[in-house]
Amino acid sequence: MRRSPGGALVAALVVAATAVAVVSGPHPATAAAAEPYTWKNVRIDGGGFVPGIVFNPGEKDLVYARTDIGGAYRWNQSAQSWTPLLDWVGQDDWGHNGVLSIAPDPVATNRVYAAVGMYTNSWDPNNGAILRSTDRGNTWQRTALPFKVGGNMPGRGMGERLAVDPRNNRNVYFAAEGGNGLWRSTDYGASWAKVGNFPNAGNYVQDPNDANGYLNQNQGLTWVTFDPASPAVYVGVADKENPVYRSLDSGATWERIPGQPTGYLAHKGVVQGKYLFIATSDTGGPYDGTAGQVARLDTTTGTWTDISPTPVADRYYGYSGLTVDAQKPGTLMVATQISWFPDAIFFRSTDYGATWTRIWDWNGYPSRTKRYTMDISANPWLDFNGNPTPPEEAPKLGWMNESLAIDPFDSDRLLYGTGATVYGTTQLTNWDRNTTFTIRPFAKGLEETAVQDLASPPTGAPLVSALYDVGGFHHADLDTVPASFHDSPNLGSNTGLDFAELNPQFFVRVGNNAAAPHIGVSNDGGKNWYQGQEPSGVTGGGTVAVGADATAVVWSPAGTGVHYSTTRGSSWTASAGLPAGAKVESDRVDPKTFYAYAAGRFYTSTDGGASFTASAAAMPAEGRVNLKAVPGAAGEVWLAGETGLLRSTDSGRTFTAVGGVTEGINVAFGKAAPGATRPAVFLVGTAGGVTGVFRSDDTGASWVRINDGQHQYGNAGDALAGDPRIWGRVYLGTNGRGILYADRAGGPVSPSPSVSVSPSVSVSPSASASPSASVSPSMTMPTIACTATYRVTGDWGGGFQGEVTVRNIGTVSTKAWKVTWAFTAGQTVTQSWGGTATQAGTAVTVVNAGYNGTLSSGASTTFGFLGGTTGTTNPVPFPITCSATP
């Protein structure tokens, strides 16, 4: 996941914040046409931390989930899946995909609120905001806050920090971090003011000396909860000596609750009947916590009682997730914060915490007895490819279990968040009958992976991914959860991958393991892997590029300089002329050519990565830069950066700016449109003054926007791939919303609007049947014919690249085609794509690939090849013949 000012606010800020406009509709594209697209997630299900799950106590089956970098979701009971609610967040305010808290209104249940912002340090350039919705999150209005919000900061699992007053639902409270205190809205979240008389803004800082600015923030206030039967309001504070405050007069005055337990931070606070329950830990989490307690306040007597499930001497964890059963007074549950070994522990009480039972118990170390079984068949990768030694098991019950929630309408339903998914059961009361219950994933539709790289090869699986946290997957079916993530070797967070364009079975991927291995190699299209060797000094994955025919690999890892391999990763040699940390890319045709970008300069290698030479071309000096070479076009490479989109056709010696594009984030190439000979170009960036995702079918001369205001995905685009087999399909990687794939709304196989049917296909008026049912002699009969056009697209000493365009000029569709010619100057075909080439002597025969044999009338396709030459000439052969099968 991306980890990419405290102090009290001055009096001038104790005023209502200014409301901003609704951000729920598409931005109009003024200079680029728009084309409707259908956007869907490549299914992984989960893959990141879910710190909050909140049932609306006012309406059955209305459930919300929040994530730290991937937005918010609403549960769809009929589909048993989650619906994303913040996909409209754009590049300019990407941090608003970090959701620190979410609060449904228990009175007007269509209302829901969210506190958004990702970081309270400089990583997020924007302040936070409070979002409000009157239609369950389908559309939102946004009120800016005068400070930052940290949905992905330490302590983000505590809460909920937002809460709606059930006695007067106009009143909404927000417990802020960073020393910003308690805030309140009295108009359904439209405007906010600081509660000036709240006495404590918190003081807990995880690491005051953290040089990265991530661990040194004041974690502030931690939760707000109400007693629905009285005017009492309770607030948690990140202050170990003063963890809980209350107001007994609906927020008019505040006091520290007398007699409260001290020494820990209150992660959760829940009211049931006359009791306030709190769960505490010695840190803010979510990754740590070694001590804590569970306590109960009798609000009628003021008496505090330590009801911790385990004596202090036996604990190695604090407590976090806390929930009560609204249908069964006295029933509550709490989760450990955090019990890594051997697993998380959940505790359950049915007598207000007087006694507890555990979800699992020791039965003679290392054996355990369990009240539950795990069924991960819906998301089988959740075993993390593991086979641990007992007492550990795979899959684990969970970790980072900050959110634990019993359905207020159904005592049998429990949902809880982990560091990787949402788990739950619909048989929870079996616990009380000593009968086993089943826990399974409830994560369909909730996609939270942080995507680092994507590859869509011309054969094999349509997509292979590199992801943080869960490594990445071989996606054989985009709509099916893969059985396992990349393994053997497991590289931890994967940072990059590439394949050989002309030998797409060969893949290399790299990752950020704490220690070796940092590299894996595949010979079957990214499905199975073996460990490669690595240069000394490697500390992280960096980027990697595979030569077009797999004879060379260039790797730019963290910790050492750029290296190249001619042995498929079994040995490495330092590259010359290229700075450490450069971003590397391979030419997709010429096996010896590689490209790189570093610190405002472009570099080219023509010797397989052994040495690089800097180009004199002007490059963007900073910001996000991504470069991609064009399949089938030797020497053509494009670069997207903050200055726009640049194109080179001479291996990076010179570049031309692509008109109309004022900022580029990433660029990729996919299958050409029907009738076109050049691949489709996909852009994440700004074209014609509009920021979005675009496609061009004419090499950037014109663009169509293919996303809209409802599909912006915030922090997206550092991973992008076009599909070489399906025209119009693009794969978009996000930092927190997983992988999206998009197809033209008419379907992935729809013909291009620019391809017209041959006039001879239509039946002339005289072709109508005569009274005798005989066919008129003037009817045009079906014809079967195709043409092939040969051209040389690249030439170098001893070799060349060719391309042949096959066009159906008949009146009916083809099922297959064949092209033949004879060389006249000793040329030989050495590689082919888009068709299978064979050569006998001078005679060459090429038959269609499996995906492009079918051509409707007027449609065309291309195949390409690499050739060798023995002389000084390379004449175009003649004739080129084409035959087709209907």
CA distance linking residue 319 with residue 305, whole number of Å:
16
Contact 380, 484 (CB under 8 A): yes
The burial of 86, by beta-carbon neighbours within 10 Å (0-12 exposed, 13-18 middle, 19 or more buried), is given as buried
Tell me which of 68, 325, 498, 549 is the catalytic residue. Answer: 68
For residue 524, the one-letter residue type is: D
* 549 belongs to the catalytic site: no
User: C-alpha dihedral over 382, 385, 391, 396, to 10 degrees?
Assistant: -10
For residue 402, the one-letter residue type is: E
Of 340, 320, 274, the residue nearest 159 (C-alpha): 320
* 68 belongs to the catalytic site: yes
Contact 312, 325 (CB under 8 A): no
Longest pairwise C-alpha distance within the chain:
104
Of 393, 418, 441, 394, the residue nearest 43 (C-alpha): 441
Pairing of strands 372-374, 437-441: parallel
Q: What is the 3-state secondary structure (H, E, C) of 820-841?
A: EEECCCCCEEEEEECEEEEEEC
Count CB-CB contacts under 10 A for residue 95: 27
Length of the chain: 886
CA distance linking residue 380 with residue 886, whole number of Å:
44
The full DSSP string for 529-580 is -EEPP--TT--EEEEEEE-TTSS-EEEEEESS--EEESSTTSS-EE-BS--T
Tell me which of 45, 87, 469, 587 is the catalytic residue. Answer: 469
The burial of 528, by beta-carbon neighbours within 10 Å (0-12 exposed, 13-18 middle, 19 or more buried), is given as middle
Residue 443's SS3 state is coil
The burial of 303, by beta-carbon neighbours within 10 Å (0-12 exposed, 13-18 middle, 19 or more buried), is given as exposed
Contact 166, 225 (CB under 8 A): no
- Among all residues, which ones are annotated catalytic? 68, 469
